[in-house]
Structure formats: structure tokens, C-alpha cells
Amino acid sequence: MKSSILRAGVALACALGLAACGGGSGDLLLQGTINNGVTVDGRLAALTKEGLVLTNNGGDDLTIPAGATSFQFKRAVSTDDEFNIQVKATPSNVKECTITNGKARANYYTIAQVSITCYVKTHTFEIQIAGLTTNGLVVVNGTDRQDVPAKATSLKMNDVYEDGAYGVTVLQQPSGQTCSVENGSGTMGSTDTGNNKVVVRCS
Amino acid sequence: MKFSFARGALALTALLTLASCGGGKATFPINVSVSGVSYDGLVLTTNGQDLPIHYTGDPKSPATINAVFPNGIEYGEIYTVVPKSETSSDGKTVTVSYPKHQTCSPASGYPIGLPITGTAGQLAKIQINYVCAINAYPLTGTVKGLLGTGLTLANGSTVAPVAVAPDVDATTKAPTGKDVALVMSSVTFNTTYGVTVLTQPTNPTQTCVVTGGANGTGAGTMDQAAEDATVKGVNNLVVTCS
């Protein structure tokens, strides 16, 4: 009788000991997708630069390279372990990253339901207008169409994504004047002001 | 005697109750919801009935329109709700009644992606969902005289720039300067485009100039004329490199 209690006790101790180890020696690899493209609400999601670092339960840092469309943590987790994926650092041109289904108890289903969306920063895009005296000038940056009133000296266009291209051109000349665009194309910098050298010069 | 009367009354009540359940044949209304409607002209059809989806509001603020087919269908009838289409008498062209400048397709994804076909009674409620999007038309042209590499063309900021490589001789791999096709991203109806050179070619250094489009300098609006063109869209861009 006594020995059987002892045996049970040993077995229990073993079980507890194994359970304690369980955390890091599971066989579920935590993974997910990284969204790219224009989201439903019209914002651009992209990972064009390095710098995204993810953590699981505050550790296990995972650096994501530029252009990645998926990720997988190196350390496996066990069934029923809680995981909590968070963003530790974002690339310099990303405003924010949001994580969907990043917190759950691990099983074959939940470990593959994680997705991350990193929204690219936008910046104010204001260009210069010189010598304009009349009405009728229409300037476009692709689908962004702006009417320019007479005597304007600057024009605020729609915001442009950081590191994204812009190409300003005259859609319609003002009455009696001819305008040409200087430095019309370029790549948006990382600031809200002084980020372009576009001049629409009219004479 | 009293007993049997009560039994009779009970039987009658039961009969009446049952009759009230099964009396009329069940009919199923066909409910429709169409989102993203910017223009008038969509007609949906099923089981010999037409349902026009009217919209006369501002095209810039698309609407979700809910409607029900004039007549319900009976249990067991099969329905397939599709935009109405008519084939011309010679059988060569099919005209589909979409909203003007738009194309509609069955909604997809949870929770609105329901089947557009089924049997009445299969589901508790017949609900058909369509989503409409404004058409986009091609923006294409030709790059002439390109010898260098690294030419990229932008159409504003909304879509990624397009890189164009020179035509090269199959054996010598030397650039030939022959015309190269230019395909920009399609442009949504009634929006503007303006094609500019983002980076000029190098090795050898060349300067490329964009002409064509509606205004002659690579810009314009994807308008009615572009939609009505034999080859839809704007296809006259010319980028000349020298």
C-alpha cells in the first residue's frame, strides 16, 4: 500500500516536471501572413523596408525582411500555450502595423490565423506655382486632379505615400498662358515639408 | 355521449390548426442587395422576372440598394439571379444590363458571399448579394528610340511606376532602339491620368519625353470618348527617347 502511494507520487512528480518543460519544446510553429496592397479602406499596406520586428509573449524577437509576405517564429510552441504576438519595431516608412488573431491559445488552427498589415506613411504634397495670372489651369498627379485659381503661388495636392512616386503634369493650360512643369517627377521623401522641387511655371 | 362530443370537438380543432399551417402554398420572396452602385442601369433577372436597380445619386458616393423581386417563388423552384443579358439577332454580341460605366459580380467572402443560385426552401431566406465596381480602361502606348536602361514612367502616386526595358538583339544583346510597348495600369472611368518620366534611361544617357494622351502631353481624363473607342481606353501614348 505504502509503496503504491510512493509510486503514484513519483509518477506525479515526473508528469509535473515534464509539463514544466513543455513551454519551449512544442511542435507548433507560430506563423502568419503579411498583407500587401490597397486595403478595403483605401490605405496602402506594404513592407518595402527592413525594420519590422515581432515578438511573442514579449520575447522571441523575429526580424522580418523587406518584401516578406509571410513569417514564422523560430521557437515552436505547445498545444494550449498562450501566444501573444506584438510589434516591437516598424520600418521607418510605416505609420503603424496592426495584428489580427495575434493572441490565442496555440493549436493547429490558431497558429496559422495570424495576419499583419503595415500601413505606409503619407506626407503632405504641396507644389509651387510661378507666374500664373489667369484662371483655368488644371494640374494632375495621376488621378489626383486640382483646379488652380489665378495668381496662386502654391498648390496643395493629395497626400503621397513615403517612398512612393509622384508625377505632376498639366492637364489643361490656363487661358492666355502656357505652363510647364519643372522637376515634375520624383519620389516622396520622409518629411511633410520641403519634400519636392516641383514648380509649375507659367508665362 | 358527452365524451364523444368532446372528442369530436378536439378532432375538429386539430384539423383547423393543421389547415392553418399548410393551407396556402409557401412562397419565398427573392431579396436582393447591390452595393457599390454609382450609376443607373442595372437590371437583375430570374424566373422570368426583371428587377431594375435604379440609382440617380452622385456617382462619387456609391450606394447600397436593397430590393425584392415583384413575385415570390414557390417551394422547390430553382432560382438563378443574374444581370440581364441580351444576345443580338446575329448572335455575335451580348449586351449585359450593368449600371453605366460599371460591372457587377456576385459578392464574395464572409458574411455577404451567398450563392446566387439555389432552390426555394433550401435556405430560410433567399438573399442575393451583388457588388458593383466602376470600370477601368487600359492606358497604353509606345516607347520609341529607347537604348538605355532604367526608364520608369509614373502615373501620379496611386499606382506603382512602370519600368520599361529596351528592345535587344536576340544574338548580340545590343539594344536595337526598336519600338517597345508601354502598358500602364488601367485607369478608372472619369478619373484623370498624367504620365511622366520618373527616371530617365542611362547607359547610354537618354532623355525621354511623353506625348499623346487626350491633351497631347500624356495627360487626360478616362472619359466617355475613351469608353466608346473601338479599342477601349487611351492607347496613343508616345514616349520618345533621344
The answer to whether A66 touches A52, Cβ cutoff 8 Å, is no
In total, the C-beta contacts within 8 angstroms joining chain A to chain B are 84
Domain spans in chain A, listed from the N-terminal domain onward: 26-120, 122-202
Asked if A144's CB is within 8 angstroms of B192's CB, the reply is yes
Architecture of domain A26-120: Sandwich (2.60)
Nearest CA in chain B to A144: B192
- Interval A116-147: pLDDT, tens: 999 999 999 999 999 999 999 999 999 999 99
- Is CATH 1.25.40 the classification given to domain A122-202? no
The DSSP result for A60-85, as a single string, is EEEEE-TT-SEEE-SS-B-TT-EEEE
- Going from the C-alpha of B28 to that of each of B52, B78, B112, B126, the distances in angstroms are 19, 11, 19, 7
Q: Quick count: other Cβ atoms within 10 Å of Cβ B214?
A: 19
pLDDT tens-place values along chain B, 242 residues long: 555 666 665 555 555 555 555 445 679 999 999 999 999 999 999 999 999 999 999 999 999 999 999 999 999 999 999 999 999 888 888 899 999 999 999 999 888 999 999 999 988 899 999 999 999 999 999 999 999 999 999 999 978 899 999 999 999 999 999 999 999 999 999 999 999 999 999 999 999 999 999 999 999 999 999 999 999 999 999 999 99
Q: What percent of chain A clears pLDDT 90, i.e. is strictly above it? A: 77
The answer to whether A163 touches A93, Cβ cutoff 8 Å, is yes
B156 chain-A contacts, CB cut-off 8 A: 140-144, 165-167
Q: Which helix (H) or strand (E) holds B3?
A: helix B2-22
A141 chain-B contacts, CB cut-off 8 A: 156-157, 194
| Model-level ipTM above the cut of 0.85 | no
Chain B residues at the A interface, defined by Cβ less than 8 Å, are 152-161, 187-188, 191-199, 215, 217-221
Asked if B221's CB is within 8 angstroms of A171's CB, the reply is yes
A153 and B CB contact within 8 Å: no
Predicted TM-score (pTM) of the model is: 0.79
Least confident of A28-42, A164-178, B133-147: A28-42
Q: Which helix (H) or strand (E) holds B225?
A: helix B224-228
For B34-63, give the secondary structure using H, E and C: EEEECCCCEEEEECCEEEEECCCCCCCCCE
Asked if A168's CB is within 8 angstroms of B155's CB, the reply is no
> B136, exposed or middle or buried, with CB in 10 Å at 0-12, 13-18, 19+?
middle
Compute the distance between CA of residue B48 and CA of residue B78 in angstroms, rounded to an integer: 12
- Strand-strand pairing, A70-72 and B219-221: unpaired
The answer to whether B54 touches B15, Cβ cutoff 8 Å, is no
A168 and B CB contact within 8 Å: yes
Asked if A143's CB is within 8 angstroms of B158's CB, the reply is yes
Compute the distance between CA of residue A126 and CA of residue B156 in angstroms, rounded to an integer: 14
Compute the distance between CA of residue A184 and CA of residue B140 in angstroms, rounded to an integer: 21
Nearest CA in chain B to A122: B157
- Going from the C-alpha of A6 to that of each of A1, A2, A11, A20, A21, the distances in angstroms are 9, 6, 9, 21, 23
Give yes or no on whether A26-120 and A122-202 have one common fold. Answer: yes
Q: Quick count: other Cβ atoms within 10 Å of Cβ B181?
A: 10
β-sheet bridge partners, residue A201: A130, A180
Q: Quick count: other Cβ atoms within 10 Å of Cβ A100?
A: 12
Q: What is the overall mean pLDDT for chain A? A: 88
